[in-house]
Amino acid sequence: MTVGRVVGVSGGEIAALIAAGAFLMLVLVLAVPILRLRRTVDAATRAINDLNDRTGPILGNVNTTVGNVNTALTQVHTSLDGVNLQLARLDTITRHAQQVTANVANLATVATSAVGSPLVKAVAPRMSEPSRCHW
């Protein structure tokens, strides 16, 4: 063992020790926010997992509802097809009624002109006489 020997430390070594101490302080100061951030990330992960667990049944219900709506829309479409068919039949009936009305109007015009014609007026008094002809 050597007694009385002084070990010399250079300025670079002292600077390295100060830098190491500063780095250690930086790590200690940043450790607290990093640990809190870890807790926040864990809480967010749990929330997302919980949301995923709850979303599955909701999406299943949505799929069922969409299926029911599609079925109802199909039935409505079928009903509308029936209504359109009945409307087409009603159009045909209306067209025929219009033709009958026109024919009756024409017949009324012909009858009016026949009753009002001079020939009918001349023959009418003879028609009211009893017929002499017995067949």
Domain extent for 116: 13-126
User: Is 87 within the bounds of a domain?
Assistant: yes
User: Is 72 within the bounds of a domain?
Assistant: yes
Which residue type sits at 15? A
Report how many domains make up the chain. 1
Q: pLDDT of 28-71, one tens digit each?
A: 999 989 988 999 999 999 999 999 999 988 988 999 999 999 99
Q: Which residue has the tokens 């500063």?
A: 22
User: Is 8 within the bounds of a domain?
Assistant: no
Rounded to whole angstroms, how far apart are CA atoms 80 and 73?
10
Rounded to whole angstroms, how far apart are CA atoms 55 and 61?
10
User: Is 35 within the bounds of a domain?
Assistant: yes
User: Is 2 within the bounds of a domain?
Assistant: no
User: Is 74 within the bounds of a domain?
Assistant: yes
Q: What is the DSSP letter of 129?
A: S
> What is the reported pTM?
0.44
Q: pLDDT of 96-128, one tens digit each?
A: 999 999 999 999 888 888 777 766 666 666 655
User: Is 131 within the bounds of a domain?
Assistant: no
User: Is 133 within the bounds of a domain?
Assistant: no
Rounded to whole angstroms, how far apart are CA atoms 98 and 89?
14
Residue 132 has pLDDT above 60, yes or no: no
